[in-house]
Chain A
Amino acid sequence: MLVQIRPAILMIVIMTVLTGLIYPLAMTGIAQLAFPRQANGSLIEENGKIIGSTLIGQNFTSAKYFHGRPSATTEPDPKDPSKTIPVPYAAADSGGSNLGPTSKALIERVKAEAKKLQAENPGVPVPVDLVTTSASGLDPDITPAAALFQVPRVAKARGLPEAVVKGLVLAHITPRLVGVIGEPHINVLELNLALDALQRHR
């Protein structure tokens, strides 16, 4: 039986070299050559500065931007590193709220968010993705319903006709792949960049 110890140790060493070093490093090399933009995180640069990644949502609070979904991510408290404080869209510590459906904290939060949103667009039901936190806390997308809901606010804040803003929203819908796979969605950062570009050119 003990003769099996030698292959056990050698095998884990070989597998570590093969699948733990050669494989990931070779993949890194090929990926950097073939798909450098994606391999480095699909980053967006403007005037030489990195403003984010198309895949990673960011926090928008200003009325002139479309807002993403609520985010439950946290970061260590600068005053006491053993505690965490809520920091939406903290992209080095992803995660969801993990609140269950009968949680008081969840229901109170949804109630408050819904109330705030109703004030900016009275009489229109609030799309559910705007009051619920995403699984990753970094969801880059909102539903078309959620974007259309925000059109009046954004148009007013920017002094643009609603029809123009609505047209931009509709042009930014990513449809289902081959009409079947996935859900229609809108990338919030790309939409906001397009809005800024639109006004620069006017």
Chain B
Amino acid sequence: MTGNGWSQIALFGAIIVLLVKPFGYYMTRVFAGERTFLFPIVRPLERAIYRVCGVDEKEDQHWVTYAVSMLFFSMAGFGTLYALQRLQQFLPFNPQHLPAVPSDSTFNTAVSFTTNTNWQSYVPETTMSYLTQMAGLTVHNFVSAATGIALALALIRGFARRSAQGIGNFWVDLTRSVLYVLLPISVIVALFFVWQGVPQNLDPYVHATTLEGAKQVIAQGPVASQEVIKIFGTNGGGFFNANSAHPYENPNALTNLVQMVLIFSIGAGLTNVFGRMVGNQRQGWALFGAMAILFLAGVTIVYSVESGGNPNFAAFHVDQSPSNLQSGGNMEGKEVRFGIANSALFTTVTTDTSDGAVNTMHDSLLPLGGMVPMVNMMLGEVIFGGVGSGLYGMLIFAVLAVFIAGLMVGRTPEYLGKKIEAKEVKMAMLALLVLPLSLLGFSALATAVPAGLAGPLNAGPHGFSEILYAYTSATNNNGSAFAGLSADTPFYNTTLGIAMLLGRFFLIVPMLAIAGSLAGKKIVPASSGTFPTDGGLFVALLIGVIVITGGLIYFPAVSLGPVAEHFAMIAGKLY
């Protein structure tokens, strides 16, 4: 670890803190339908979309209608993406003449991009035509992110409204997310990325003759336009196989910093939207505080572990110590321009959220370094989270935290003046239990059948980690991988696809039920017996609930993977 490494991490943290308020203010106004500086340009387009789709923007939807709208929209998106992949050989913008994507891989990819997971069992540059990348994958990068933001807003309205029937309008929330938030920033940052070196063309792959006379085929494409929304919408599906480690996707340390900031920005901003909408910004800062503490813990562990390097290299006279001339540390699966600090930071950021883009190969992280992204995802990606999903995941934990606090003191729990009763707690528990069921159930299945055991590249505990990581990533809609796993097989494509669906919709539907139920409740005036949820005690309790429930559920599985591997590594055992 170096002073410079820590200053880079501190710089990133400072930028995020400074973004929270202005971005939260802007988004609050947008989703309330108030005037913003983009109004004159975007508003006419927004109204035209409602007219064409037959949407009444004043209509307030009941939570069931809201959920049904979201489900129909997801199904329509799944259908178009499936068709596009299967028909790409007949369609334009396919200069490499790539054939139709195989059906099991198509199913997996369609689920993966509809659910904002962006797990990729395929190698993009040898599988997807430019049209599929643009009109299929880029579109879902936008709309699955917009869906997440919409859902977070619905839940916030549940807390903010009193004695209300509805929780907003899905179509309006979706449209505004795209038009006022995602698209304008994508346009600006895409051009910035091109300036910095990210390609944006529709040309065939370039055939170069290298300095030593060898042939090199260099993949091209409309990369920048997809890169920005991949990051900003916490999608994470790379234009190229190597994702944000590829020099065309992430050419230098500045683009890397911008990418990390974009990954956190919406999730962090939404905590402020939450505070503003419930009428007390400190409530938002309390959630932000809990997220920030968990984030710092994660990045500290990854950075210190990876800086130490691989002890097995020591015998070969390899220099892994940091100096002015090299960053040192465990450089397997890392890029020189990022070094250890930026790789550790990106790894933490991408798994705190549901992004899943990588600038370093997680499979080659040291055992405890690789454990952090896994645990981040297992905790439900509530640390800033996916766009929207982080906030609603965190609010489910908040409901649970006040419930447990209520049990301790023997009072009916309240959160933001709303009584938390049996229905809310049951729904929160449903969401919290389906995820481990999918994650651990499928991992157990894969380690018990030959089709599952054929997957891992590495032997020993690391092979188990590859399987566990895959289902963790799929269930939590992250999409990053211990990429040694050969996941492009019917068994993995299908089971991972199901895990993604369970993880997305069994979190969303119970969450909307909570929102609907809360919106209908009256506000109980605060009294001296009310547990304050905007202070340090609540933050500590919230972190405690997240860590303890996560630990109780997942510790046995984690101990078989990264923990076992750590001790094997210290003992010098190889597999």
Residues of A in contact with B (beta carbons under 8 Å apart): 1, 4-16, 18-21, 23-25, 27-28, 30-32, 34-35, 38-43, 49-53, 55-62, 65, 69, 89-104, 106-107, 110-111, 114-115, 118, 125-129, 131-146, 148, 176-177, 180-185, 189, 192-193, 196
Contacts and interface: CB of A to CB of B under 8 A. Distances in A.
A28 to B, nearest CB: 5
Nearest to A140: B247
B316 A41 contact: no
B211 A114 contact: no
Given A11-B73, A38-B195, A126-B319, A100 B465 contact: yes
A162 B11 CA distance: 39
9 contacts: A19-B143, A27-B190, A31-B191, A40-B203, A92-B126, A94-B241, A127-B326, A128-B330, A146-B326
A19 B183 contact: yes
Interface stretch (B16-24, B216-224, B279-287, B291-299): B216-224
A99 B370 CA distance: 12
Nearest to B200: A31
A135 B245 contact: yes
Interface in B196-243: 196-203, 205-212, 214, 216-220, 222, 224-226, 229, 240-242
Nearest to B569: A102
A4 B55 CA distance: 9
A62 B212 contact: yes
Q: Which 10 A-B pairs have the closest CB atoms?
A: A182-B253, A98-B484, A135-B245, A183-B339, A20-B135, A100-B462, A94-B242, A136-B242, A125-B319, A96-B361
Interface residues of B, number: 135
Given A96-B361, A98-B361, A50 B212 contact: no
Interface stretch (B28-36, B103-111, B307-315, B385-393): B307-315
Contact of A7 (B53, B195, B370, B461): B53
B335 A139 contact: yes
A8 B73 contact: yes
Contacts of A131: 313, 316, 318
Contacts of B222: 24, 27-28
Contacts of B80: 12-13, 16
B320 interface: yes
A60 to B, nearest CB: 6
Contact of A136 (B247, B309, B315, B565): B247
B312 A102 contact: yes
B64 to A, nearest CB: 8
B473 interface: no
B134 A21 contact: yes
Nearest to A195: B211
B408 to A, nearest CB: 42
Nearest to B571: A102
A28 B202 contact: yes
B248 A41 contact: yes
A38 B247 CA distance: 12
Nearest to A5: B72
B76 A8 contact: yes
A193 B211 CA distance: 8
Contacts of B575: 102-104
A191 B319 CA distance: 23
A91 B205 CA distance: 9
Given A19-B183, A56-B248, A8 B333 contact: no
Contact of A1 (B68, B190, B214, B324): B68
B8 A181 contact: yes
B454 interface: no
Which of A9, A41, A104, A176 counts the most chain B CB atoms within 10 A?
A41
Nearest to A39: B200
A101 B330 contact: yes
A21 B136 CA distance: 10
B366 A101 contact: yes
Contacts of A56: 216, 218, 247-248
Nearest to A23: B225
Contacts of A34: 191, 194-195
Contact of A100 (B126, B317, B329, B484): B484
A89 B251 CA distance: 16
Contact of B174 (A11, A13, A114): A11
Contacts of A62: 212
Contacts of A106: 332, 364
Contact of A180 (B7, B317, B363): B7
Interface string B167-206: 0000100110010000100110011001111111111011
Given A27-B224, A41-B220, A182 B53 contact: no
Given A133-B333, A139-B247, A145-B323, A100 B339 contact: no
B142 to A, nearest CB: 4
B331 interface: yes
B257 interface: yes
Nearest to A144: B325
B574 interface: yes
B49 interface: yes
B178 A19 contact: yes
A55 B251 contact: yes
Contacts of B460: 102
A174 to B, nearest CB: 8
B163 interface: no
B531 interface: no
A38 B194 contact: yes
A180 B212 contact: no
A35 B211 contact: no
B197 A38 contact: yes
A143 B242 contact: no
Contacts of A24: 134, 138, 222, 225-226
Nearest to B74: A8
B327 interface: yes
A10 B317 contact: no
A49 B246 CA distance: 24
Contacts of B11: 180-181
B318 A110 contact: yes
Interface in B536-575: 565, 568-569, 573-575
Nearest to B361: A96
Given A19-B183, A103-B574, 20 more contacts: A11-B73, A16-B80, A18-B183, A28-B202, A51-B209, A69-B336, A91-B216, A94-B241, A95-B361, A103-B458, A111-B315, A131-B313, A134-B245, A134-B335, A135-B359, A138-B247, A141-B336, A145-B326, A181-B11, A196-B211
